[in-house]
Amino acid sequence: MIDSAGLHTLSAEWMLLPNGWHQHMELSIDKDGLIVSVGPAITPPDLPICIPGMINLHSHAFQRHLVGRTQRFSRPEDDFWSWRSRMYSEAAALTTDSQFKGAQRLYADMLSHGYTTVCEFHYTHGAVQRDNAEIPVLMAESLLRASESTGMRMMLLPVLYQQAGFGEQPLAPEQRSFGLDTQVYLRLIEHLRDESPRSPLQSIGYAPHSLRAVGLDSIRAVIDHRADTAPHAPVHIHIAEQVREVNECILAHRKRPVEWLLDAFEPDSSWCLIHATHMSDPERRQLIERQITVGLCPTTEADLGDGFFPLSRFISEGGTWGIGSDSNLCVDPFQEIRLMDWQQRLSSRRRNAFKMDALLSVATRLYLQACEGGRRASGMAVGRIEEGSSADLVVLSDHHPLLDARTPDDALAACMYSGDKSVISQVYTSGRPRLQTT
């Protein structure tokens, strides 16, 4: 229903609000897709069970094309670094058209699985001439067009990538299309923010690729530019994903990666550290103190043999985390959280690895926490059903046999530990339906 002020309403038998489940609730949504009120419904509900859409805080869209093509191993020691060689060949073949079409298919698939926001960590600039900004603009705009065409909300994170390893190693030939001069990179950010056509669903952030791929002076230039032009924009960076990376950082800087980053730049809650798999206890405690989000990508980290993050301890100490699909081997947030929980159960040899009470299911608690981490990492008003947030919603099916005769808390647990996208009946971004399967 749309009233004279341009508001429309959605109601549900059950809604997952930031403080838990509420029955028979109604949202008022304005013309810009923002929730202006949440309260008891006065009419029969439109929807059965409604939860906030999930934020995918780390995606490399082009890597979706690698799915199924990297599972044949030629050597016993095949690992992340050998996988990376195949990834380079895929990146080299990209054009603006193939990047657009691949991302469009990917984002539609993400929406069908319950992601409503994606943070696209984009380094396929196609710039063999490092001082030429024209092609990088077109490659970035192809991703913006893909998200707009599907209705996927996006935080586009153009990536600064300049060296092949610690010690200012020059880019290898297969990495040249990732590399940009620092000033070209900053002009790219400005162009995308100020001149490129963007929808209200889209924002621009910063992403130095990693400590091994960007030197101290270049990261400092990025942070200074952000302070001058967009002080609240998110900053994302890969860090401490591999043991080899940690060891090389210690050799180069006499500090571990997270330790070095914290000392050099004093990151705050607008930063998101992707993976951060191999941290020391002091590093982990500092992230928690500074309210820095850790971006976990369990299916990719498992596929690449990275190791797994000590999440139960991180949560118990008050850490903030979210989930991403990274290589897009999997684009299902339920599966990402499921695997992450099972990793902790296997490690601790207990089912209640997070030592949670029985007031809410583990599934509901973890889902809400992942939404909060994604909200912070994206810098957007997403991941909550509350006044002032975007009406990005996922509706669970009212006729799926897996959810039959269950409380909403048990229904979400069934989705997380046994479901797939067939448990989702509708997806909304900005209060507009983007997917309906029934």
For 224, list phi and psi in degrees, rounded to 5. Answer: -65, -40
Residue 24: pLDDT band with limits 50, 70, 90:
very high
pLDDT value at residue 438 = 52
- Provide the whole-model pTM: 0.95
Helix (H) or strand (E) holding 409: helix 408-418
State whether the Cα torsion 85-87-93-94 is positive or negative. negative
Range of lowest pLDDT (1-10, 20-29, 131-140): 1-10
pLDDT of residue 150: 97
Ramachandran area for residue 337 (φ above 0: left; ψ -120 to 50: alpha; else beta): alpha
Our CA angle for 377, 153, 276, nearest 5°, is: 25
Place of tokens 């989930």: 323
Let me know if 306 is a catalytic residue.
Answer: no
Domain ranges of the chain: 8-52+384-436, 54-378
C-beta neighbour count of 50 within 10 angstroms: 25
Distance CA 403, CA 430 (A): 26
Q: If pLDDT is split at 50, 70 and 90, which confidence band does 275 have?
A: very high
Angle value at C-alpha 307, between 290 and 298, nearest 5 degrees: 75
Pick the CATH number of 54-378 from 1.10.287.130, 3.50.50.60, 3.20.20.140, 3.40.1190.20: 3.20.20.140
Write out pLDDT tens, residues 63-122. Answer: 998 886 666 666 666 666 566 677 787 788 888 999 999 999 999 999 999 999 999 999
Q: How many other β-carbons are positioned within 10 Å of the β-carbon of residue 300? A: 23
Give, as one character, the DSSP assignment of residue 82: H
CB 139 within 8 A of CB 89: no
The helix (run of H) or strand (run of E) holding residue 238 is strand 235-239
Distance CA 276, CA 394 (A): 29
In the block, residue with structure tokens 């992601």: 115
Statement: 8-52+384-436 belongs to CATH 2.30.40.10:
yes
Query: Could you say which of 326, 341, 392, 409 is catalytic?
Result: 326
Query: How do residues 155-194 score in pLDDT, each as one tens digit?
Result: 999 999 999 999 999 998 888 889 999 999 999 999 999 9
Instruction: Name which of 388, 68, 391, 362 is nearest 201 in CA terms.
Output: 391
Based on its alpha-carbon atoms, the radius of gyration of the chain, rounded to whole angstroms, reads 21
Spot the catalytic one: 275, 278, 303, 392. Answer: 275
Q: Is 58 a catalytic residue?
A: no
The percentage of the chain sitting over the pLDDT mark of 90, rounded to a whole number, equals 83
Between CA 33 and CA 243 the distance in angstroms is 44
- Establish how many alpha carbons lie within 13 A of residue 357's alpha carbon, considering only the half-sphere containing its beta carbon: 1
